[in-house]
Amino acid sequence: MQNRKALEKDYGLILDLWERSVIATHHFLAVDDRLKLKEEIPSYFPHLDVRLWYIEDRFIGFSGVHESHLEMLFLDPDLTGKGYGKQIIRSLIDDYGVTSVDVNKDNENAIWFYLKSGFTVVGEKPTDGEGRPYPILNLKLKSQ
């Protein structure tokens, strides 16, 4: 698996994958909120280390890290369950120093994924970062 730093010209590619992934996994998210988030997300990219992840030459997902916090990790929804997310999170932990992540409380598959990857729940907030009614779980990497 390879990755590279995202460039501004990649934003359309990233947003397309993000939207397909969210539609497939975030059934709790209202359509209007999804559309607003899609408009907001590019404004976060300049503040993150955004990486595009590839298997050979196929774009399979992207991640965004700020310091040691994983801000976003999305996979092509056609490729979930194949071990790619596990490889990416291991690289993010081992190579990029990720030690924390926040996840939607209603995204049970993501919670399971992060718990299985060595994270533990350390807190909860009733809303997302923009005050929308989506509870967020705060997770930290267990001591290795």
The pLDDT, as a whole number, for residue 38 is 93
Residue 144 confidence (pLDDT) above 60: no
For the stretch 78-132, pLDDT in tens is: 998 899 999 999 999 999 999 999 999 999 999 999 999 999 999 999 998 888 8
- CA distances, 37 to each of 97, 103, 110 (Å): 26, 15, 18
**Adjacent-strand bridge partners of 3:** 53
What gap in Å lies between CA 16 and CA 38, rounded to an integer? 9
**Adjacent-strand bridge partners of 70:** 65, 101
What is the pTM for the complete model shown? 0.92
For the stretch 57-76, pLDDT in tens is: 999 999 999 999 999 999 99
